């Protein structure tokens, strides 16, 4: 499973992890509240991506199994 962020700057794919139903549900719940954060970051194969509050509100986050 991995997080995919679709932004106006491009599409960013997080590091793929083994699917775990409990973790999947936890991450899904977290992403439902991500717009309340001041910033958000996640790791990709190329490094870590940081999102400001404004960038978060302009991003479509997908949690892929």
For the entire predicted model, the pTM comes to 0.89
pLDDT digits (tens, 9 = 90+) for 31-52: 999 999 999 999 999 999 999 9
- CA nearest neighbour of 51 among 40, 62, 42, 63: 40
Of all residues in the chain, the percent with pLDDT exceeding 70 is 100
Looking at residue 62, its pLDDT comes to 97
Looking at residue 54, its pLDDT comes to 95
For the chain, which residues make up each domain, given as ranges?
Answer: 2-64
Looking at residue 31, its pLDDT comes to 94
Looking at residue 26, its pLDDT comes to 96
Secondary structure E strands in 1-65: 2-7, 10-13, 39-44, 47-52, 60-64
**Cα dihedral 4/65/21/29 (nearest 10):** 30
């Amino acid at each position: 499973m991995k997080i995919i962020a679709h932004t106006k700057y491009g599409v960013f794919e997080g590091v793929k992890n083994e699917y775990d139903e409990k973790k999947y549900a936890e991450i899904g719940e977290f992403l439902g509240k991500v717009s309340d954060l001041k910033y958000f970051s996640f790791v990709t194969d190329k490094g870590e991506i940081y999102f400001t509050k404004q960038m978060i509100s302009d991003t479509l986050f997908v949690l892929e199994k």
